[in-house]
Chain A
Amino acid sequence: TQLLEQSPQFLSIQEGENLTVYCNSSSVFSSLQWYRQEPGEGPVLLVTVVTGGEVKKLKRLTFQFGDARKDSSLHITAAQPGDTGLYLCAGDYGQNFVFGPGTRLSVLP
């Protein structure tokens, strides 16, 4: 059983569409991060959320941390081919942290 679940596992959309991906857990995290990983490269941090209910925006990306700090969502507006990649969430609980299995996003031109 994975501590963090992500959905959907795969997502293929057309350029210009909006999308939301989810990260869920039954555990409470002190902080949660979203990363994007492109083929052949390491993950790159997009955002860290710490406070329950927190919303952060990064250009066309909107991140939300659930009130109970057990889940998070990433919404992309007007997706572009450059958004293609593997989106990973990672949760921190004490000195342990885990990554979710990721959502593989493909944005077609």
Chain B
Amino acid sequence: DTAVSQTPKYLVTQMGNDKSIKCEQNLGHDTMYWYKQDSKKFLKIMFSYNNKELIINETVPNRFSPKSPDKAHLNLHINSLELGDSAVYFCASSAQGPTMADTQYFGPGTRLTVL
């Protein structure tokens, strides 16, 4: 059983489109996260979401919006995609948090390519 799953695995789309990436965790965790890993493998946190409290990295454009229908899901919606959005996006969850003292479990990633 996959603890943190993401769909799709690969997403190729045109500039200007709107797309969503889905994330689900079956660990019963309270906090979920979205990360962006660029071509140089630099992993940056975008959002953490805990009990309806959203903490946003101030560098994230407002074209990105996380949506949580329930505690087990945190989907990432991206409006007006740009070339620079091409990256691998990782979802993660932790039992408590958001703090790194709490173990984070990462999904397998979604590779987004914007043409």
Residues in chain B near residue A43, CB distance under 8 A = 43, 90, 106
Count: A-B pairs, CB below 8 Å: 56
**Is there an interface contact between B40 and A48, defined as CB atoms closer than 8 Å?**
no
**Is there an interface contact between B41 and A45, defined as CB atoms closer than 8 Å?**
no
Q: Which residue of A lies closest to B94 (CB)?
A: A45
**Is there an interface contact between A95 and B99, defined as CB atoms closer than 8 Å?**
yes
Contact A101-B40, Cβ < 8 Å, known A40-B109, A42-B106, A44-B106 = yes
Q: Which residue of B lies closest to A101 (CB)?
A: B42
Chain B residues 81 to 105 lying within 8 A of chain A, measured CB to CB, are 90, 92, 98-101, 103-105
A48 to B98, CA, bound (A): 15
A105 interfacial contact with B, CB 8 Å: no
Instruction: Out of A31, A40, A91, A99, name the residue touching B108 (CB < 8 Å).
Output: A40
Chain B residues 27 to 78 lying within 8 A of chain A, measured CB to CB, are 40-45, 55
**Is there an interface contact between B108 and A42, defined as CB atoms closer than 8 Å?**
yes
A86 to B106, CA, bound (A): 15
Residues in chain B near residue A88, CB distance under 8 A = 43
Given contacts A32-B100, A43-B106, A86-B41, 17 further A-B pairs with CB under 8 A are A31-B99, A31-B101, A37-B41, A40-B109, A41-B108, A42-B90, A42-B109, A43-B90, A45-B103, A48-B103, A90-B100, A95-B98, A97-B45, A99-B43, A99-B45, A101-B41, A101-B42
Give chain A's interface residues, CB within 8 Å of chain B: 30-33, 37, 40-45, 48, 50, 86, 88, 90-92, 95, 97-99, 101-102, 104
Give chain B's interface residues, CB within 8 Å of chain A: 4, 40-45, 55, 90, 92, 98-101, 103-109
Can you list 21 A-B contacts with CB-CB less than 8 angstroms, sorted by A residue number? Answer: A30-B101, A31-B99, A31-B101, A32-B100, A40-B109, A42-B109, A43-B106, A44-B106, A45-B105, A48-B101, A48-B103, A92-B99, A92-B100, A92-B101, A95-B99, A98-B44, A99-B44, A102-B41, A102-B42, A102-B43, A104-B41
